[in-house]
Chains A and B, each alone.
Chain A
Amino acid sequence: MRVLLRRGFFYLITAWAAISLNFLLPRIMPGDPADALIEKFHGKLTPAAVQALRVLFGQGHASLWQQYVDYWHNVFTGDFGISYAYYPTPVSDVLGQSIGWTLVLISVCTVLGFVIGTGLGMIVGWKRGSWLDSLIPITTLLSSIPYFWFAICVVLLFAIVLHWFPLSGGYAVTETIGFNWGFISSAVYYAALPALTIVVASIGGWLIGMRNMMITTLSEDYVKLAEAKGLPKRRVMFTYAARNAMLPSFSSFAMSLGFVVGGSIVTEVVFNYPGIGTVLFKAAQAQDYPLMQGIFLVITVTVLVANMLADLAYVFLDPRTREG
């Protein structure tokens, strides 16, 4: 369990670093974002809002340390200021409305992409040297396609030409958000194309990584021994080869996840999906710094949690990490 404690500690440091970075960025960047915003919303800001901006972006009269303390206070109370793109909604409300969409979409797609990609990679690696190897160039092409462009093509084909799926949005406007069948089925229907995009675009990377690891693992003595023992093929493939081959996927999960999350965020924009990605796009357009920073924090924390889950899975799969 020491491993998990160590990892947990590492994530705390990372979270601290990310939040501090968030605090520092506007203060070290050229120009003065707070002034720019106050200028832009000239007269429309309440004194309280101006004060919040100052806490977020500095230039207050307090010392840097005092600003830092205030900033942490805000972070813990969930006070990220007011969004300008969605003025006068507080950033936390904007985040609250969009995070759920993204969370569900990306987590489902990441898991699907990982399972399908790794599963296919396992089979292609197992049958190395067969016709399946010719899939590799195709998968390479697939994994090199920018998510958002693939999204555009998918929309063109399935929404505009074939009319199978809706063009954009997260659910039919006729439905009311809530735990009711109409809404859920509509949300699933609307999520189909974005999900398809993310899953297909992310499969390639998992597939090729797993295939290569599988081939490397297959020449390990313990796989040979498993074969020598006359174990059924399925057991050799899963318990001996694949389970070991999968381990590096978990230890490099952070990077792959960052890749998928980044791609998905831009994908949302294409579908005008009511998630964080679309909000980030609007925030960037409107130079809405408080919102952008809030989004960055939320995504970072979510990714950290996802990484912790991956670490847990790793510890579950690999007894060597469990000692001590």
Chain B
Amino acid sequence: MQKQLLLGDEAIAQAAIDAGLSGIYAYPGTPSTEITQYVISSKEAKEKNIVATWTANEKTSAEAALGMSYAGKRAMVCMKHVGLNVAADAFINSSITGANGGIIFVVADDPSMHSSQNEQDSRFYGKFAMIPILEPCDQQEAYDMVHYGFELSEKFQIPVMLRITTRLAHSRAGVARKTSREQNLVKLPENLKQFILLPAIARKQYKDLLNNQPHFEAAAETSGFNTYTDGKDKSMGIIACGLAYNYLLENYPDRNIPYPVVKVSHYPAPAKMIEKLYEECDSILVLEEGYPILEELLRGMLNKGKTIKGRLDGTIPRDGELNPVIVGSALGFETPQLQEIPSLVANRPPSLCKGCSHIDSYNGINEALEKYGKGRVFADIGCYTLGALEPYNAINTCVDMGASITMAKGAADAGLRPAVAVIGDSTFTHSGITGLLDAVNDKSSITIFILDNSTTGMTGGQPSSAFGKIEDICRGIGVEEEHIRVLKPLPKKHEENLAIIKEELEYDGVSVIIPRRECIQTLNKRMRDKFKEKAKA
């Protein structure tokens, strides 16, 4: 079959479709978004009746996928690294329940924080849950690993993690597909108590998980994704994990690496191969796209064995993603003489689109708060976080999804008046509702702006779970009707909106202001599609 040019994300999606997937669940998040997007847009997936859906958040995704696994079918759940923090309860406990139909957690890490708050390494979570982790080095391996991952998951009745990073997720290469497999039929777990984590059952299941560890280790030695390649020069042995393996190869155009190399793409890391490397070589260089996890293990707390080089001894920078030059310099190649960037080149940070409704919201908020002074706006994550930059300088916090409402509450409890929260519509249903309930129950004095642009803007305009429901949710939770205020954020409405905002800032209780105007990007797209349809007709 001819190779198809696919992003790493798309390769994973196509592999899942080919491997008999029955359901994929996700909350968008860079760099994982395109996986689910691909399945949602796939004609083939539609014909096969594959369920592909955006959920309220990563925890609900994970649980839905686990439910599909319970029913015997193959399920995938996708998220960005911080999404796994949200899904962590489901994730960790799913390693104790185990799986029935195959289930893969795809987690996309973002070293160097291209679009994220941190660069946490999901392999830690995988190890924490004690489940197999697959970390592809390229798009083809990503494709192949999905097939293998489902088989592994069903063989040991265990969830499997597929860990990727930004550069693989968002890079295209030719991928060869395998023949398609039928979906599983509905089939209940043989033991109908498998998924009941009452202590007595959980203790037994946990022992099963522990007893399975040697099997997981054996699988990692034989799956073929981990390899040992000998080299003549034993002064150094190299361990290259995931994508780092490519940067290693890149430094040897003829692919003749003088040192022995263990390529690690399947965890638990292959102890036998690594032991052989350690025995045969004078020192070890560890290349990891992420935290120095294997490096730390090899070093041990006291670092009294052979020399271990990597992120911890300064051979490689402690933070940020790898690239061919960083790896080259760790291998002892001279760093090339580079042309400099002329000093007149200015930074060009991302900014809110021209005409974005968030601009009008911030203009209102800034002016209304002028008399109280700066430093009281607790914001959240989305396009509106760009309100932190010039010329708005409108917000003071952005921590994790949903933290706006709850942090404003805490600050109000401490006596900060007024305390303002700013949260997007999609973020509100992701993690804001429970915080609002806390605030209502405590009659906290906070003013909450739910910026309703009717979409999940930041990640490219996916539907928002909040669509058409925000007032009802607020009412249902107990926000007083007269303190739910809907505005149209437009320059010509500025004075009218300002008066309403000022009024609510004075109110000693929970008030919710909903500036509502569609995202310019999704609006334009809708108009274009409409135009196209008309042209067709």
Specify whether A and B are partners: no
